[in-house]
Amino acid sequence: MTPDDFRRHGKALIDWIADYWEAVADTPILPDVSPGDIRSRLPEHAPERPETFESMMADLDDIVMAGITHWQSPGWFAYFPANVSFPAILGDLAASGLGQQGMLWQTSPATTEIESHVLDWLVDLMALPSEWKTTGPGGGVLQMSASDSTHTAIVVARSRHTGVEPSRMVAYASSQAHSSIEKGANVAGIGHVRLVETDNEMAMRPDALEAAVLADEDAGLVPMFVCGTVGTTGTTAVDPIRAIGGIAERHDLWFHVDAAYAGNAMICQEFRHHIDGVELADSYTFNPHKWLLTNFDCSVFWVADRRPLIETMSIVPPYLRNAATDRGDVIDYRDWHVPLGRRFRALKLWFVLRHYGAEGLRAYIRSHVALAQSLTERIDAHPRLDTVAPTLFGLVSFAHVDGNEATQRIVEAINATRTSYVVPSTLGDRLFVRVAIGSTLTDTSHVDALWDAVESAV
Ligand code: PLP
């Protein structure tokens, strides 16, 4: 493909993406396919002869679109959102065009320095501890996912206990914490994971945490890691960060905060009381790819002190040695996570911050939270509906007072519209409707359409 061909096809593809975004609101969210349908339409063998770009574009429409789940629909209320925006797409395109490999400062100074700088900006924008900046003892790095960030934190925590068998180590999180905590601990070979009891609002009970830690210490085990969640996946419950931090300090646990979804809201001052005590954390993660208009993948991982992270992750083979690293003048992000190679993820985040400005991003988060509040008010005012958890951010969790069958009918009525989509969850035996408001295009009209479907089924 020559540069001129690339210009032509690239413009056609940008038009195709813009057309998609103009049509997505009216497109049924779930594809009508069975397992294997898409694959059965692909040739058995890879092409021997070159094909035209036009034929690839035709198959995008014909084959790919038949199997696309429309996460970017404004009626997408399932899971948590997976935000995309045009500035982020363009930033990602520029990153692809430059084809950078930012494993060392030396291999791409701009990839490294823009990433450090943008994550330092975010520390200020979210009023997080200034020690977390790369200009202080800590620093931020972009990872692929919150699961990677958490796994990395557990591995660093493990390395603090030299001479202790990982099989004797214990990690703690609440019973509502994301499965990535347990997975990360398993991958790191940690012997025990305790899922600590929660209170009526599904937040970790600090007394139960401390009792579990004491019992494990008495049993000769080695408590070494605790994760506090800000915005649990089920109901966006918030663990008591300051109390957990105090326990972590008393028992020498690495304190990690998982704010994968709700961390985005910290760009607005009014949500920051939820992370009171965050200065006690050793590490913290949140995902701009969930709710800050930045395409997947983009997960921020901050540490309060970068030394243990680098000491744990750094292995320098001779071919990676260079003068800047040897002088200790630079950040080499390969030492901040498991992968060596890394792409220029910060470019899309930089474009997003500059395009919207902090003001635009605050307005964006607030618009979704206001929609969630207005839906909550309608539910609270309805005699046959109950919220099952407080609406703290953009997630509304509710059920029919008549029980699970009636709640299931609401889910089916919403999904039968085909342009609104929810995935229910359970608390104990109780089924509830989980409405995550936060897609890029979602506005009042889409929440009204969802409400009409709810009303038709109660
Ligand atoms: N933590 C929480 C609280 C989440 O809600 C999620 C995903 O929804 C994750 C972690 C995992 O995020 P990722 O897909 O980036 O690993």
Residue 179 CA to ligand 1 centre (angstroms): 8
Residue 1 CA to ligand 1 centre (angstroms): 39
**What is the enclosing helix (H) or strand (E) of 450?**
helix 444-457
Average pLDDT over residues 136-143: 97
Coil/strand/helix, residue 141: strand
Average pLDDT over residues 303-321: 89
**Per-residue model confidence (pLDDT) at position 324:** 82
Our mutation pick for probing the ligand 1 site, out of 144, 174, 261, counting the most ligand atoms within 8 A of Cβ, is 261
Distance in angstroms (rounded) separating the CA atoms of residues 179 and 147: 9
**Per-residue model confidence (pLDDT) at position 328:** 81
Using a 6 Å cutoff on CB, does residue 145 contact ligand 1? yes
- Residue with the two structure tokens 């349908």: 37
- Residue with the two structure tokens 């770009």: 53
Average pLDDT over residues 41-65: 97
Coil/strand/helix, residue 106: coil
- Encode pLDDT of 239-266 as tens digits: 999 999 999 999 999 999 999 999 999 9
Using a 6 Å cutoff on CB, does residue 299 contact ligand 1? yes
Average pLDDT over residues 168-190: 97
- Encode pLDDT of 71-107 as tens digits: 999 999 999 999 999 999 999 999 999 999 999 999 9
Burial 373-382 (b: 16+ CB within 10 A, else e): ebbbebbeeb
Asked if the model's pLDDT at residue 275 lies above 90, the reply is yes
Residue 173 CA to ligand 1 centre (angstroms): 14
Which atom belonging to ligand 1 lies closest to the Cα atom of 287?
15
Using a 6 Å cutoff on CB, does residue 397 contact ligand 1? no
What is the value of pTM for the model shown? Answer: 0.96
Percentage of the chain surpassing pLDDT 70?
Answer: 100
Residue 275 CA to ligand 1 centre (angstroms): 18
- Encode pLDDT of 194-240 as tens digits: 999 999 999 999 999 999 999 999 999 999 999 999 999 999 999 99
Percentage of the chain surpassing pLDDT 90?
Answer: 97
**What is the enclosing helix (H) or strand (E) of 299?**
strand 299-303
Residue 328 CA to ligand 1 centre (angstroms): 34
Asked if the model's pLDDT at residue 316 lies above 90, the reply is no
Query: Which pLDDT band holds residue 320 (cuts at 50, 70, 90)?
Result: confident
